[in-house]
């Protein structure tokens, strides 16, 4: 029996949450059973090389505009050329363009992944979701919060499958803390806090920067790393300059060595207004780093307040700064929280489970 061809479609292959989950999935699927191709609608990214090294074909479309007929034409040609047995789309842009073109091109089976609740979506986006659900065989979500959101927005729950994110096995950093601080040109006695993720509105990076400004009032040893990139980077850099905190906020952009940095952080922040199942929280807890995150669905599934980290109301910058200062002033408490977080996550979200459960969905649909 020949391998079933699966085309995975995602907006880009930057090293961000959904993209990392896709990369883990496609590299883990059995090659004798599934012939996997990956399509990035807008651009490639740091994960391209990783996938190509794993002999997974990557196709870049080059989408430039929100409504882009050239992208539709190129994607239709790719679908016609590959003739996949199943198309799996990720995130709203791919879930709209990808699903619509998959149906138009005659794909036998269509799967969509929703990695975050859709509170940002307006009537138009939700209408697109509901309309395309008619031709979607499964909608895979990564947390109960995301499940509940779509279940209460008219999406057929019989089509929704909950598969949690996979967490790669933690590997200790090859760098010492002193080496890392030296590489980042930071003083050796620095307290290092990080925000890891896409620089977009729902991540509320500005709240994190405001919290950094509040921390600067009470202490002068805190440095904040903004790891990631996105459409708000220029605005956020200007914001830092306007409030005169540019000397202690460092924009690192996309990094392929986050695993070398994360274990040396003192605290990780997540200020998002909504999330699915945060990769940055999972990776931080696995490395034994305490997390201060917004009290929203998804985050609550991972962070136990006052045990593995702290939760604070969305937009409460003072609470974010206060909890962080408490951790920095109490290193023993911080270490205990880090150990508790690591223990709580140990063996809970293996990548094998992510792969096996997706493979089971594919087999069921393609039998």
Predicted confidence (pLDDT) at residue 141 exceeds the cutoff of 90 = yes
Domain boundaries, the chain: 4-166+350-366, 177-345
- Name the percent of the chain lying above pLDDT 70: 100
Task: Give pLDDT, residue 1.
Answer: 63
Instruction: List % helix, strand, coil for the chain (3-state, nearest 5).
Output: 45, 20, 35
Per the rule left: phi > 0, alpha: psi between -120 and 50, beta: everything else, 203 is: alpha
CATH fold match for the domains 4-166+350-366 and 177-345: yes
How many angstroms separate the CA atoms of 244 and 271, rounded?
A: 21
Higher per-residue pLDDT: 63 or 6: 6
| Topology adopted by domain 177-345 | Rossmann fold (3.40.50)
Residue 67's pLDDT band, with cuts at 50, 70 and 90, is: confident
pLDDT at 347 over 80: no
4-166+350-366: what fold?
A: Rossmann fold (3.40.50)
Question: What is the per-residue pLDDT across 207-253, written as a single tens digit (0 to 9) for each?
Answer: 999 999 999 999 999 999 999 988 899 999 999 988 888 889 999 99
pLDDT (0 to 100) of residue 140: 96
Q: What is the C-alpha radius of gyration for the chain, rounded to an integer number of angstroms?
A: 21
Contacts of 196 (CB under 8 A, 6+ apart): 227, 228, 258, 262, 268, 280, 283, 284
């Amino acid at each position: 029996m020949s391998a079933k061809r699966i085309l995975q479609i995602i907006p880009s292959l930057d090293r961000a949450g959904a993209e990392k989950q896709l990369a883990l999935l496609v590299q883990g699927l059995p090659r004798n059973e599934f012939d996997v191709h990956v399509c990035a609608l807008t651009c490639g990214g740091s994960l391209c090389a990783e996938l190509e090294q794993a002999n997974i074909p990557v196709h870049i479309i080059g989408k430039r505009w929100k409504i882009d007929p050239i992208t539709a034409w190129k994607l239709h040609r790719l679908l016609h050329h590959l003739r996949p047995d199943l198309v799996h789309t990720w995130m709203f842009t791919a879930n709209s363009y990808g699903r619509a073109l998959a149906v138009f091109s005659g794909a036998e089976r269509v799967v969509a992944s929703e990695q975050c609740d859709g509170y940002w979506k307006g009537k138009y986006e939700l209408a697109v979701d509901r309309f395309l659900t008619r031709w979607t065989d499964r909608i895979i979500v990564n947390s109960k919060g995301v499940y509940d959101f779509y279940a209460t927005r008219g999406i057929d729950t019989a089509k929704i499958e909950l598969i949690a994110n996979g967490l790669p096995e933690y590997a200790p950093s090859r760098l010492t803390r002193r080496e890392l601080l030296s590489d980042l040109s930071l003083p050796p006695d620095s307290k290092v806090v990080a925000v890891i993720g896409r620089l977009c509105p729902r991540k509320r990076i500005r709240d994190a920067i405001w919290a950094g400004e509040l921390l600067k009032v009470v202490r002068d040893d805190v440095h904040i790393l903004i790891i990631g990139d996105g459409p708000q980077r220029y605005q956020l850099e200007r914001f830092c300059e306007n409030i005169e905190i540019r000397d202690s906020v460092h924009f690192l952009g996309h990094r392929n060595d986050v695993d070398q940095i994360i274990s040396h952080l003192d605290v990780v922040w997540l200020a998002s207004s909504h999330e699915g199942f945060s990769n940055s929280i999972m990776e931080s807890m696995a490395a034994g780093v305490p997390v201060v995150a917004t009290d929203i669905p998804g985050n609550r599934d991972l962070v136990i307040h006052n045990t593995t980290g702290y939760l604070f109301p969305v937009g409460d910058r003072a609470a974010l700064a206060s909890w962080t200062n408490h951790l920095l002033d109490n290193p023993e408490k911080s270490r205990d929280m880090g150990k508790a977080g690591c223990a709580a996550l140990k063996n809970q979200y293996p990548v094998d489970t992510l792969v096996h459960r997706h493979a089971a969905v594919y087999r069921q649909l393609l039998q």
